[in-house]
């Protein structure tokens, strides 16, 4: 039963206005809502902030019965239910974090037909008591939020989502709407088959966020580069800085604070009260910068975030897109800036190698990383690459770094051969493996203590790469790693060849290696060569 007086005849637009206080639907919301109200299944792909919630909330209010929302974000259920209650919607949730008496009260309200929306954690649906409860009440629809979690191929797989095919088997006549902000064509396929949504209509929103300017810079001194960006382009602006580790979150927040930026840290290791306070400041005050792990941002709805910065490489384009998508929701110009360097590639490859899970899982992680690296190394429009990842075609955008200052590229075949042969020599002549630092010292002909200790100055390749500077050799190594022409191994990140390396090293018609020049190089700045 709907929360309003006029009864079920009310159409969707009425509910939108009376309950939610919005004048009109946005984008494809109207189509989606009408389709679901009519009893159809739907698969909705809409970027974060696009307005997915209304797509199932409005139909739940219009159709008789309770809309069951499956969501993995248990921590957000209370907030979501509170926000709905505020609007006069009768909502509740069932999850494991709840007191038994709260649970019983919610169950009774559901059975009495007094709930418009009921939020459930996916693992609950597996249990017979929950299924039995649902059988005894009246269900208006099933909404499956964060539906990409069902895809093993996706970046955020959750096994408990696999159980959700029971929805269709047990309640075949109840319409289902699956929603996600991140789905490549391949993930979309997987969602369809695993949730038995093959008959569902697909609603794919435009994923472009034209007001976001995407920029990926070569990492030198990331914190200083960031400070520079904030001072010159975003003074007094609110923004989010993402870091991989909690320690780096704290260090970066301190560094920024020490340099006059109003920055606060946020990560799961902080006290809940500290986290709440920092989040509150970010939401309520102007110009607060949050330095955070990816734990921050889910359910955060702040329209005037002017920049999102990544000081470490995200693990996938999906993650990158979701995080950068928190910038500029008000449609005004915003910056997505990232510093990316050799160490990121080495670190992430190492993390994958030492990750739990089987070989197939590691292959998935590698494919996600490779797609991310391709975005970093591209000489084409970043946006074209990004949108193509989500199956959307577009033309050069004019609002990303590669469009605004097209990167130069150079023929790095000889440089690649020198670097790869150094790896080969060490292996064949000495049976040794080393990390990038030592390889670069050998190439540049530097007689460091470590070079002397291992008598690397006696190698024939010693000093063959004097024409390039340290930074340039690291750039070459990074791009070879990104392209899979070189690999890292073991806990020290030693360099080893890959199956493709020989294509570059062969005498006859070696594979050409085009390398991206770093901005400072094309700007005529530092470095030799
Ligand atoms: P998503 O779940 O796709 O990330 P939300 O459902 O949280 O997005 O909606 C994002 C924001 O947009 C919310 O503040 C929501 O109230 C607002 N919103 C959604 N639809 C409309 C609309 N038709 N008119 C005005 N605001 C809307
Ligand atoms: Zn572009």
State pLDDT tens for residues 247-290: 999 999 999 999 999 999 999 999 999 999 999 999 999 999 99
Are 288 and 281 in contact by the 8 Å Cβ rule? The answer is: yes
Query: Whose C-alpha lies nearest to ligand 1, atom 23?
Result: 25
Look at residue 96 and tell me whether its pLDDT is greater than 90.
no
Q: What is the pLDDT of residue 357?
A: 81
Confidence of residue 48 (pLDDT cuts 50, 70, 90): confident
Query: Whose C-alpha lies nearest to ligand 1, atom 9?
Result: 51
Query: Whose C-alpha lies nearest to ligand 1, atom 18?
Result: 51
Q: What is the pLDDT of residue 529?
A: 31
Are 60 and 135 in contact by the 8 Å Cβ rule? The answer is: no
Q: What is the pLDDT of residue 278?
A: 96
Decide: residue 456, CB within 10 A, 0-12 exposed, 13-18 middle, 19+ buried.
buried
Distances (CA, A) of 303 to 48, 75, 86, 314: 12, 22, 21, 23
Q: What is the number of the ligand closest to the CA of 71?
A: 1
Query: Whose C-alpha lies nearest to ligand 1, atom 14?
Result: 301
Contacting residues for 7 by C-beta, under 8 A, at least 6 apart: none
Are 403 and 216 in contact by the 8 Å Cβ rule? The answer is: no
Pocket test for ligand 1, best of 54, 56, 283, 305 (most atoms within 8 A of CB): 54
Confidence of residue 301 (pLDDT cuts 50, 70, 90): confident
Q: What is the number of the ligand closest to the CA of 336?
A: 2
Coil/strand/helix, residue 60 = helix
C-alpha 301 to ligand 1 mean position (Å): 9
Look at residue 527 and tell me whether its pLDDT is greater than 70.
no
DSSP state of 438: H
The mean pLDDT value of the chain amounts to 91
Residues 360, 361, 362, 365: what is their CA dihedral angle, to the nearest 10 degrees? 120
Q: What is the pLDDT of residue 153?
A: 74
Per-residue tokens: 485: 């022409």
C-alpha 383 to ligand 2 mean position (Å): 5
Q: Pick the most confident of 181-195, 239-253, 370-384.
A: 239-253
Q: What is the pLDDT of residue 10?
A: 55
Distances (CA, A) of 488 to 103, 298, 378: 51, 33, 21
Coil/strand/helix, residue 292 = strand
Specify the length of the chain in residues: 529
User: How much is the average pLDDT of 499-516?
Assistant: 93
Measured from the Cα of 181, ligand 1's closest atom is: 3
Per-residue tokens: 476: 């070459």
C-alpha 215 to ligand 2 mean position (Å): 9
Per-residue tokens: 284: 């309520």
Measured from the Cα of 20, ligand 1's closest atom is: 16
Look at residue 8 and tell me whether its pLDDT is greater than 80.
no
User: How much is the average pLDDT of 138-147?
Assistant: 96
Measured from the Cα of 16, ligand 1's closest atom is: 23
Place of tokens 């006069």: 88
Q: What is the pLDDT of residue 258?
A: 98
Confidence of residue 183 (pLDDT cuts 50, 70, 90): confident
User: How much is the average pLDDT of 172-197?
Assistant: 91
Task: Determine the Cα–Cα distance for residues 223 and 190; give it in Å rounded to an integer.
Answer: 40
Coil/strand/helix, residue 435 = coil
Q: What is the number of the ligand closest to the CA of 378?
A: 2
**With b meaning 16 or more CB within 10 Å and e meaning fewer, what string describes 488-520?**
beeeebbbebeeebeebbeeeeeeebebbbbee
Contacting residues for 14 by C-beta, under 8 A, at least 6 apart: 4, 6
| 0.90 surpassed by complex ipTM | yes
Which amino acids bring their CB within 6 angstroms of ligand 1? Answer: 22, 25-26, 29, 46, 48-54, 301
Among candidates 402, 225, 248, which has minimal Cα distance to 312? 248
Q: What is the pLDDT of residue 335?
A: 98
Per-residue tokens: 309: 């910065």
Look at residue 308 and tell me whether its pLDDT is greater than 80.
yes
Q: What is the pLDDT of residue 519?
A: 54
Look at residue 127 and tell me whether its pLDDT is greater than 80.
yes
29: left (phi over 0), alpha (psi -120 to 50) or beta: alpha
* pLDDT (tens digit per residue) in 364-376: 888 889 889 989 9
Decide: residue 304, CB within 10 A, 0-12 exposed, 13-18 middle, 19+ buried.
middle
Measured from the Cα of 299, ligand 1's closest atom is: 7
% residues pLDDT > 70 (the chain) = 96
DSSP state of 392: -
pTM for the predicted model, two decimal places = 0.79
SS in 3 state form for 342-372?
HHHHHHHHHHHHCCCCCHHHHHHHHHHHHHH
Q: What is the pLDDT of residue 354?
A: 87
Look at residue 332 and tell me whether its pLDDT is greater than 50.
yes
Pocket test for ligand 1, best of 53, 69, 330 (most atoms within 8 A of CB): 53
Among candidates 408, 389, 387, which has minimal Cα distance to 397? 387
C-alpha 440 to ligand 2 mean position (Å): 33
Q: What is the number of the ligand closest to the CA of 179?
A: 1
Look at residue 246 and tell me whether its pLDDT is greater than 70.
yes
Helices (H), 354-494: 359-377, 382-389, 401-404, 413-430, 436-444, 449-453, 470-482
User: How much is the average pLDDT of 14-34?
Assistant: 94
Per-residue tokens: 437: 């630092």
C-alpha 477 to ligand 2 mean position (Å): 26
Chain CA centroid to CA 284, Å: 25
% residues pLDDT > 90 (the chain) = 72
Measured from the Cα of 54, ligand 1's closest atom is: 6
Per-residue tokens: 147: 């539906």
Measured from the Cα of 46, ligand 1's closest atom is: 3
Confidence of residue 521 (pLDDT cuts 50, 70, 90): very low
SS in 3 state form for 253-289?
HHHHHHCCCCEEEECCCCCHHHHHHHHHHHHHCCCCE
Confidence of residue 2 (pLDDT cuts 50, 70, 90): very low
């Amino acid at each position: 039963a709907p929360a309003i007086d006029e009864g079920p005849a009310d159409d969707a637009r009425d509910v939108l206005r009376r309950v939610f206080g919005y004048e009109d639907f946005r984008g494809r919301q109207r189509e989606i809502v009408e389709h679901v109200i009519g009893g159809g299944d739907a698969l909705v792909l809409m970027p974060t902030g696009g307005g997915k919630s209304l797509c199932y909330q409005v139909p739940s209010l219009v159709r008789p019965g309770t809309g069951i929302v499956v969501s993995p974000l248990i921590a957000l259920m209370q907030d979501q239910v509170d926000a709905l209650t505020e609007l006069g919607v009768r909502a509740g949730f069932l999850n494991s974090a709840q007191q038994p008496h709260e649970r019983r009260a919610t169950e009774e309200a559901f059975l009495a037909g007094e709930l418009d929306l009921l939020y459930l954690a996916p693992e609950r649906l597996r249990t017979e008591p929950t299924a039995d409860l649902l059988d005894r009440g009246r269900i208006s629809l099933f909404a499956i939020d964060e539906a990409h979690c069902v895809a093993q191929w996706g970046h955020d797989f959750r096994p408990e989502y696999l159980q959700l095919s029971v929805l269709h088997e047990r309640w075949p006549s109840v319409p289902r709407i699956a929603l996600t902000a991140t789905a490549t064509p391949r993930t979309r396929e997987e969602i369809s088959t695993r949730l038995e949504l093959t008959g569902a209509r697909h609603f794919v929103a435009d994923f472009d966020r034209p007001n976001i300017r995407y920029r990926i810079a070569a990492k030198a001194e990331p914190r200083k580069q960031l400070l520079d960006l904030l001072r010159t382009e975003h003074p007094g602006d609110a923004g989010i800085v993402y870091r991989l580790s909690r320690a780096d979150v704290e260090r970066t927040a301190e560094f920024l604070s020490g340099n006059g930026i109003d920055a606060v840290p946020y990560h799961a290791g902080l006290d809940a009260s500290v986290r709440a306070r920092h989040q509150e400041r970010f939401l309520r005050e102007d110009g607060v910068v949050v330095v955070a792990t990816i734990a921050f941002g889910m359910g955060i709805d702040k329209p005037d975030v002017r920049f999102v910065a990544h000081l470490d490489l995200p693990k996938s384009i999906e993650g990158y897109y979701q995080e950068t998508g928190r910038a500029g929701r008000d449609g005004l110009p915003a910056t997505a800036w990232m510093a990316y360097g050799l160490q990121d590639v080495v670190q992430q490859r190492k993390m994958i190698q030492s990750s739990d899970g089987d070989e197939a899982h590691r292959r998935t992680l590698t494919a996600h990383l490779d797609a991310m690296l391709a975005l970093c190394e591209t000489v084409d429009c970043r946006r074209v690459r990004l949108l193509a990842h989500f199956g959307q075609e577009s033309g050069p955008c004019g609002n990303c770094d590669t469009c605004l200052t097209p990167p130069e590229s150079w023929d790095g075949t000889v440089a690649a051969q020198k670097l790869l042969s150094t790896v080969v020599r060490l292996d064949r002549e000495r049976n040794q493996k080393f990390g990038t630092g030592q390889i670069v010292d050998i190439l540049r002909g530097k007689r460091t203590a470590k070079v002397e200790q291992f008598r690397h100055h006696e190698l024939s390749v010693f000093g063959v790469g004097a024409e390039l500077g340290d930074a340039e050799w690291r750039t070459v190594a990074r791009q070879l790693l990104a392209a899979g022409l070189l690999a890292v191994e073991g806990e020290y990140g030693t360099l080893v060849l890959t199956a493709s390396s020989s294509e570059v090293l062969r005498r006859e018609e070696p594979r050409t290696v085009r390398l991206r020049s770093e901005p400072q190089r094309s700007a005529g700045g530092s470095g030799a060569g």
